[in-house]
Chain A
């Protein structure tokens, strides 16, 4: 083997090693930005979204559809703060029970505390007979209540919000 080829191969290998590292970082970076972009959407000026701050009357689901649909649920306070759940078609159950979608280990939460259910693109929060109650902003949730974007749902020491 000519010395030149070996030297070129040697440095080529080291460069390839770093290319691998940076490719992995690139993949991870896009992963991280996927979350960052959606939080930027929250801060963006709200044209259509302004109307979503007013809770839509429960009887008129058509009106609720006019706002941007919620696509993420973010835990903003409590032990799970920072956790995001990508919303799909399925309901989200919250409580201390191990099989809840969001498992809260909090003395003030019940085993099956509350659930979030989608209906025609609008999410409804419903208290499942918890001991200490579920609050939408300041109001205690008694029946299925539509959840506007960015309004905190409080369960024990945990707060969560829907985000677009």
Chain B
């Protein structure tokens, strides 16, 4: 008896260890990575002061410490509410956000008169505002984690969110230009001195709706098809929804004059569709539709003008920025020169000339940072973005329901696409459009929306990695009862 019990006990105990190993929460790894990120942010601030002020003030560490406290708060909330969430997401985002705040403060230093530089208050200027926005955005993310205990709850509000998304997208388009237009793009709601960019939030709402809709419809979208040249194409009537979204994104392009946002919405939908159906044909159809539409808008812009003229302008600048280097092409040319000045290793934090670059605090922040940390540092930041997207996709792979898969996959892809659109724009790979660089650019709307996105990813990854506990299905005592008792247990419980 004892001989039989001994071998039975040992595999079970090692197995339990491996079970624990697989389901580790890894919160301590997150904490140490977060501390490392905050050390980096503090070092960045110190070097900026050393270079720009020739001395390091005694309170250089205050913004980094304030950020550190906020992120630590979020870390504690995650420990409490989402203990199995992905450990890499928070530190990676915290680093980007911290570098962003540091650079904006550096921009304020460059703007201020030399005599006033040393005693620039912490919450003053663009950097200070960004710091305050970060506090608000992180609090919002923590709030979402608290309200949303299971990502599947979101699917209940899918249609409401979809409608809200469309409305948010359309508001700036219908508002008169003086309430919604900044630098030629109608993406804003401006009330008094206050402005928000509703499209940033619409992104999240629309994606939730797409994920829900496609989970419902994916059978018909992926089964009914015709095979042409080895690729399965969907039936004509199933093209409806993709055509509607395409039309909406073209309308955005025309009325809000923003290629980036339109590309973002459309790409988001096509990729979610592709993830849902595993059909390459959707990607092909999407690419053809988008490039066809953009080319058509370009042609219309050159002949008809009117609402298409802005896009035509941008495309012209993109094709040859040096044609009018002091006029229309000024911003892009300055951006390229800034990146060129940075070279491989950059001028060192605080060593650049960010004031020479228009919009360096928003659209061109990546070029501004690049001047000071060079290609070597910029590629590190790009890899950090890549890691965030990878963790999102990983959560999508691991989560146990289709809605969660589409939601996390779509959100991660959207973040990646947004980075591509803006970094591609400033490096002249694609026509420049006024997208924000997630977590770096100055601006509360973008920061809040992206932190909410991260909160949803954290929630999904927590759901994916959490070991199964507590029966959520038909009531049954876990592990209780002999097999014959189980046989008599209720087999179907229908809940309203």
Q: How far is the CA of A89 from the CA of B469 in the complex (A)?
A: 7
Q: How far is the CA of A82 from the CA of B469 in the complex (A)?
A: 21
A85 to chain B: which residues have CB within 8 Å?
400, 468
Identify B478's interface contact among A13, A91, A112, CB under 8 A. A91
Chain A residue with Cβ nearest B91: A24
User: Could you give, for residues 40-72 of chain A, a 1 whenever the CB lies within 8 Å of some chain B CB and a 0 otherwise?
Assistant: 000000001000000000100110011111011
Q: How far is the CA of A16 from the CA of B12 in the complex (A)?
A: 43
Q: Is A99's CB under 8 angstroms from B391's CB?
A: no
Q: Is A93's CB under 8 angstroms from B376's CB?
A: no
Name the residue in B26, B349, B473 with the highest tally of chain A Cβ atoms < 10 Å from its Cβ: B473
Identify B55's interface contact among A1, A9, A67, CB under 8 A. A1
Q: How far is the CA of A69 from the CA of B380 in the complex (A)?
A: 43
Check: A132 CB closer than 8 A to any chain B CB: no
Given contacts A80-B402, A121-B12, A128-B492, contact A98 B152 (CB under 8 A): yes
Check: B425 CB closer than 8 A to any chain A CB: no
Identify B387's interface contact among A6, A25, A105, CB under 8 A. A25
Given contacts A14-B380, A20-B37, A21-B383, contact A65 B8 (CB under 8 A): yes
Interface members, chain B 368-409 (any A CB < 8 Å): 373-374, 376-377, 380-381, 383-384, 387, 390-391, 394, 397-403, 405
Q: How large is the interface on A (under 10, 10 to 19, 20 to 34, 35 or more residues)?
A: 35 or more
Identify B15's interface contact among A95, A97, A99, A164, CB under 8 A. A164
Interface members, chain A 92-131 (any B CB < 8 Å): 92-93, 95, 97-103, 105, 107, 111-112, 115, 117-119, 121, 124, 126-129
Q: Is A28's CB under 8 angstroms from B387's CB?
A: yes
Given contacts A86-B22, A112-B493, A129-B492, contact A28 B473 (CB under 8 A): no
Interface positions of A (Cβ within 8 A of B): 1, 5-7, 9-14, 16-21, 23-25, 27-28, 31, 34-35, 38, 48, 58, 61-62, 65-69, 71-72, 79-80, 82-93, 95, 97-103, 105, 107, 111-112, 115, 117-119, 121, 124, 126-129, 143-144, 164
21 CB contacts below 8 A, A to B, read A1-B50, A5-B50, A9-B348, A17-B380, A20-B40, A21-B380, A27-B26, A27-B33, A48-B7, A66-B4, A69-B15, A86-B23, A89-B469, A102-B401, A103-B152, A117-B476, A126-B486, A129-B492, A143-B487, A164-B15, A164-B18
